[in-house]
Chain A
Amino acid sequence: MEEPKDMSFVEQFVKEKVPDLSEKKLEKQLLDLYQKPILLLSEKSGKVKKKKQKKSLRHCKADLKLALTQNSNYAEYEPLRKMWSEYIREVLYVGGKKQVDMKMAQEVFLKADLHGAVISVALSNCKHLEKMKGTIITESKNMFQIVTLKNTIRNIPKKNSVFEIIFENLRVTIFGDQYCIKPSQRLTKKFKNYIPVLPVV
Chain B
Amino acid sequence: MGKKKGNQSGSHLQKKDVYQRLNYLYQAAHFAISMQPVNKELSKYYTRTMKTLAQKNVVRLHPHVKRTICKHCDLLLIPGVTCTYRNKGKPKQTVVTCQGCGTFRRYLLNIDNKLWHDKPENIANVVMCNKS
Contacts and interface: CB of A to CB of B under 8 A. Distances in A.
A19 interface: no
Contacts of B27: 83
Interface in A64-97: 64, 66-68, 70-71, 76, 79-80, 83-84, 87, 90-91, 93-96
A96 B130 CA distance: 9
B20 A63 contact: no
Given A64-B41, A68-B42, A96-B132, A111 B17 contact: yes
Contact of B39 (A68, A112, A188): A68
Nearest to A64: B41
A184 B49 CA distance: 7
A96 to B, nearest CB: 5
Given A52-B103, A111-B17, A83 B35 contact: no
A108 B41 CA distance: 29
Nearest to B34: A79
B1 interface: no
A127 interface: no
Where chain B touches its partner, the secondary structure class is helix
A71 to B, nearest CB: 5
Interface stretch (B51-59, B61-69, B117-125): B51-59
B103 A71 contact: no
B31 to A, nearest CB: 6
Interface residues of A, number: 36
Contact of A94 (B44, B73, B102, B131): B131
A159 interface: no
Contacts, number: 82
A113 interface: yes
Contact of B57 (A54, A67, A188): A188
B113 to A, nearest CB: 28
Contacts of B108: none
Contacts of A63: 41
Interface in B78-109: 101-103
A66 B41 CA distance: 9
B17 A187 contact: yes
A137 interface: yes
Interface of A: 52, 54-55, 60, 63-64, 66-68, 70-71, 76, 79-80, 83-84, 87, 90-91, 93-96, 108, 111-113, 115-116, 137-138, 183-185, 187-188
Interface of B: 17-18, 20-21, 24-25, 27-28, 31, 35-37, 39-42, 44-46, 49, 52-53, 55-57, 72-73, 101-103, 129-132
Question: Across chains A and B, which 7 residue pairs bring their CB atoms closest together, nearest first?
Answer: A67-B41, A184-B52, A64-B41, A87-B24, A184-B53, A113-B21, A71-B39
